[in-house]
Amino acid sequence: MVKKRKVIIKKSFDIQGREIANYIRKNSQQNAQKLINQVDITTGVIEDSPKAFPPEPYLETKSNLYRFALVMKSWKIIYKITNELLIFLGIIHTARHPNEIKKLRTNNYKEFI
Protein backbone atom coordinates (compact mmCIF):
# COMPACT_ATOMS: atom_id res chain seq x y z
CA MET A 1 0.00 0.00 0.00
CA VAL A 2 1.33 3.44 -0.97
CA LYS A 3 1.49 5.95 1.86
CA LYS A 4 -0.36 9.19 1.07
CA ARG A 5 1.60 12.41 1.44
CA LYS A 6 0.21 15.31 3.43
CA VAL A 7 -1.08 17.92 0.97
CA ILE A 8 -0.14 21.57 1.47
CA ILE A 9 -1.54 24.35 -0.71
CA LYS A 10 0.54 27.52 -0.58
CA LYS A 11 -1.35 30.80 -0.37
CA SER A 12 0.34 31.86 -3.61
CA PHE A 13 -1.22 28.88 -5.43
CA ASP A 14 -4.70 29.86 -4.28
CA ILE A 15 -4.18 33.55 -5.03
CA GLN A 16 -2.74 32.91 -8.49
CA GLY A 17 -5.60 30.57 -9.33
CA ARG A 18 -8.19 33.18 -8.36
CA GLU A 19 -6.39 35.96 -10.24
CA ILE A 20 -6.10 33.86 -13.39
CA ALA A 21 -9.76 32.81 -13.29
CA ASN A 22 -10.87 36.43 -12.72
CA TYR A 23 -8.72 37.62 -15.63
CA ILE A 24 -10.14 34.96 -17.96
CA ARG A 25 -13.68 35.62 -16.69
CA LYS A 26 -13.50 39.18 -18.11
CA ASN A 27 -13.62 37.68 -21.61
CA SER A 28 -15.25 34.30 -21.08
CA GLN A 29 -17.14 32.93 -18.08
CA GLN A 30 -17.11 29.52 -19.78
CA ASN A 31 -13.30 29.43 -20.15
CA ALA A 32 -12.81 30.61 -16.57
CA GLN A 33 -14.99 27.75 -15.33
CA LYS A 34 -13.14 25.32 -17.61
CA LEU A 35 -9.83 26.42 -16.05
CA ILE A 36 -11.20 25.97 -12.52
CA ASN A 37 -12.51 22.49 -13.38
CA GLN A 38 -9.24 21.46 -15.03
CA VAL A 39 -7.18 22.67 -12.05
CA ASP A 40 -9.43 20.67 -9.69
CA ILE A 41 -9.14 17.53 -11.83
CA THR A 42 -5.39 17.88 -12.33
CA THR A 43 -4.63 18.49 -8.65
CA GLY A 44 -6.58 15.32 -7.87
CA VAL A 45 -4.53 13.33 -10.37
CA ILE A 46 -1.32 14.81 -8.94
CA GLU A 47 -2.39 13.78 -5.42
CA ASP A 48 -2.94 10.21 -6.64
CA SER A 49 0.29 9.97 -8.70
CA PRO A 50 2.65 12.90 -8.08
CA LYS A 51 5.65 11.28 -9.75
CA ALA A 52 3.72 10.64 -12.98
CA PHE A 53 4.39 14.20 -14.16
CA PRO A 54 7.69 15.53 -15.51
CA PRO A 55 10.28 17.45 -13.50
CA GLU A 56 10.14 21.24 -13.77
CA PRO A 57 13.21 22.12 -15.89
CA TYR A 58 13.70 25.53 -14.24
CA LEU A 59 13.72 24.03 -10.73
CA GLU A 60 16.11 21.12 -11.16
CA THR A 61 17.16 19.02 -8.20
CA LYS A 62 18.96 15.68 -8.07
CA SER A 63 15.84 13.93 -6.84
CA ASN A 64 13.39 15.85 -9.07
CA LEU A 65 11.47 17.35 -6.18
CA TYR A 66 9.77 20.01 -8.34
CA ARG A 67 7.34 18.90 -11.02
CA PHE A 68 4.63 20.38 -13.19
CA ALA A 69 1.38 19.50 -14.87
CA LEU A 70 -0.16 21.42 -17.76
CA VAL A 71 -3.69 22.77 -17.62
CA MET A 72 -5.44 23.99 -20.77
CA LYS A 73 -2.06 23.91 -22.62
CA SER A 74 -1.07 27.35 -21.30
CA TRP A 75 -0.84 27.02 -17.52
CA LYS A 76 1.59 25.05 -15.36
CA ILE A 77 0.66 23.75 -11.95
CA ILE A 78 4.01 23.62 -10.19
CA TYR A 79 4.39 21.45 -7.13
CA LYS A 80 7.01 19.88 -4.90
CA ILE A 81 7.09 16.36 -3.56
CA THR A 82 9.03 15.13 -0.55
CA ASN A 83 8.79 11.83 1.30
CA GLU A 84 5.97 13.13 3.50
CA LEU A 85 4.60 16.19 1.68
CA LEU A 86 2.96 17.26 -1.56
CA ILE A 87 3.13 21.05 -1.82
CA PHE A 88 1.19 22.95 -4.50
CA LEU A 89 3.34 26.03 -5.12
CA GLY A 90 1.81 28.03 -7.95
CA ILE A 91 0.04 28.30 -11.28
CA ILE A 92 2.20 30.00 -13.91
CA HIS A 93 1.56 30.78 -17.58
CA THR A 94 3.91 28.77 -19.79
CA ALA A 95 5.15 31.96 -21.49
CA ARG A 96 6.34 33.52 -18.21
CA HIS A 97 10.03 34.20 -17.77
CA PRO A 98 11.90 31.33 -16.06
CA ASN A 99 12.79 33.64 -13.15
CA GLU A 100 9.10 33.72 -12.18
CA ILE A 101 9.17 29.93 -11.92
CA LYS A 102 12.45 29.98 -9.97
CA LYS A 103 10.81 32.22 -7.35
CA LEU A 104 8.60 29.27 -6.38
CA ARG A 105 11.54 27.30 -4.92
CA THR A 106 10.84 26.92 -1.22
CA ASN A 107 11.56 25.23 2.07
CA ASN A 108 8.82 27.19 3.84
CA TYR A 109 5.89 24.85 4.34
CA LYS A 110 4.12 26.90 6.98
CA GLU A 111 2.51 29.48 4.68
CA PHE A 112 -0.47 27.51 3.45
CA ILE A 113 -4.22 27.84 3.32
d(CA 106, CA 103): 8
DSSP 9-20: EBHHHHHHHHHH
Nearest to 56 by CA among 5, 19, 100: 100
Q: pLDDT tens digits, residue range 70-83?
A: 999 999 999 999 88
Residue pair 39/77 in contact (Cβ under 8 Å)? The answer is yes
Q: What was the pLDDT predicted at 1? A: 46
Q: What is the domain partition of the chain in residue ranges? A: 6-102
The CA angle 84-98-36, to the nearest 5 degrees, is 60
Q: pLDDT tens digits, residue range 14-33?
A: 999 999 999 999 999 999 99
**CATH number corresponding to 6-102:** 3.30.2310.20
Helix (H, G, I), strand (E, B) or coil at 102: helix
pTM of the model: 0.86
